């Protein structure tokens, strides 16, 4: 059975860009509900033996398991999103990832502009991801609702931002672009993305 992963920082650690009130609801209510619902759906079945990623990939292949996929994927997506942010984040990426961003997007400024455009344009709920594809190139992709790159694509997620409305509404109301500016300028955790990038390159070598 799964448990709610703790936040990697205090609830007020991202203020003033994301309030403690938002994190309290988003993590303590929304994220917890996905955990509770997933446990309810797998209780007493052989699915209890699977890891979270195994469960997500199995459910993704079964049309009758949409509810299970949605809830299990949202456990993983949220945990990855929390770690994609950090107090005093937002500095430019360094090292190999920084060079790869310059190579694949032209510059870090160009990357930020495109990431914000794609995240702002995602219709309804979902996520915007920086991924490393099977060809070793960085891409920005968006997914709807609970969809996630780990469900079956060969894209390796490096970081994400959540654009479900409850992510930002208490702090920014309907102004998603303002939330995205805060994410990119003050919150994005490039150390986390860099570690994912290095791990993906090592595994592909």
Per the listing, tokens 């870090």 go with 108
- Specify the domain boundaries for CATH 3.55.40.20 within the chain: 95-204
The answer on pLDDT for 164 being more than 90 is: yes
**Which tokens is 76 given?**
């993983």
pLDDT tens-digit map of 134-159: 899 999 999 999 999 999 878 999 99
Q: Which of 108, 109, 130 is nearest to 119 (CA)?
A: 130
- Listed in sequence order, the DSSP H helices in 45-134 are 52-60, 66-83, 95-105, 108-121
CATH topology of domain 95-204: minor pseudopilin epsh fold (3.55.40)
204: confidence class by pLDDT, cuts 50, 70, 90: confident
- Residue pair 156/180 in contact (Cβ under 8 Å)? The answer is no
| Superfamily the domain 20-83 falls into | Fe,Mn superoxide dismutase (SOD) domain (1.10.287.990)
pLDDT per residue as tens digits for the range 107-117? 999 999 999 99
- Write out the two tokens for 129: 């991801």
Query: For residue 203, what pLDDT band results from cuts at 50, 70 and 90?
Result: confident
Q: What digits encode the pLDDT tens for the residues 46-68?
A: 999 999 999 999 999 999 999 99
């Amino acid at each position: 059975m799964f448990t709610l992963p703790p936040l990697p920082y205090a609830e007020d650690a991202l203020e003033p860009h994301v309030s403690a009130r938002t994190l309290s609801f988003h993590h303590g209510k929304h994220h917890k509900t996905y955990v509770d619902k997933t446990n309810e759906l797998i209780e007493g079945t052989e699915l209890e033996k699977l890891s979270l990623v195994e469960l997500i990939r199995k459910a993704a292949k079964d049309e009758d398991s949409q509810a299970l996929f949605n809830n299990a994927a949202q456990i993983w997506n949220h945990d990855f999103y929390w770690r994609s942010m950090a107090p005093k984040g937002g500095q430019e990426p360094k090292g190999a990832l920084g060079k790869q961003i310059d190579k694949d997007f032209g510059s870090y400024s160009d990357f930020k502009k495109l990431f914000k455009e794609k995240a702002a344009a995602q219709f309804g709920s979902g996520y915007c991801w920086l991924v490393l594809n099977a060809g070793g190139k960085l891409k920005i992709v968006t997914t709807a609702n609970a969809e996630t790159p780990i469900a079956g694509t060969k894209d390796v997620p490096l970081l994400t931002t959540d654009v479900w409305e409850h992510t930002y509404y208490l702090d920014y109301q309907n102004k998603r672009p303002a939330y995205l500016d805060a994410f990119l300028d003050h919150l994005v955790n490039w150390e986390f993305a860099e570690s994912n990038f290095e791990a993906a390159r090592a595994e592909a070598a």
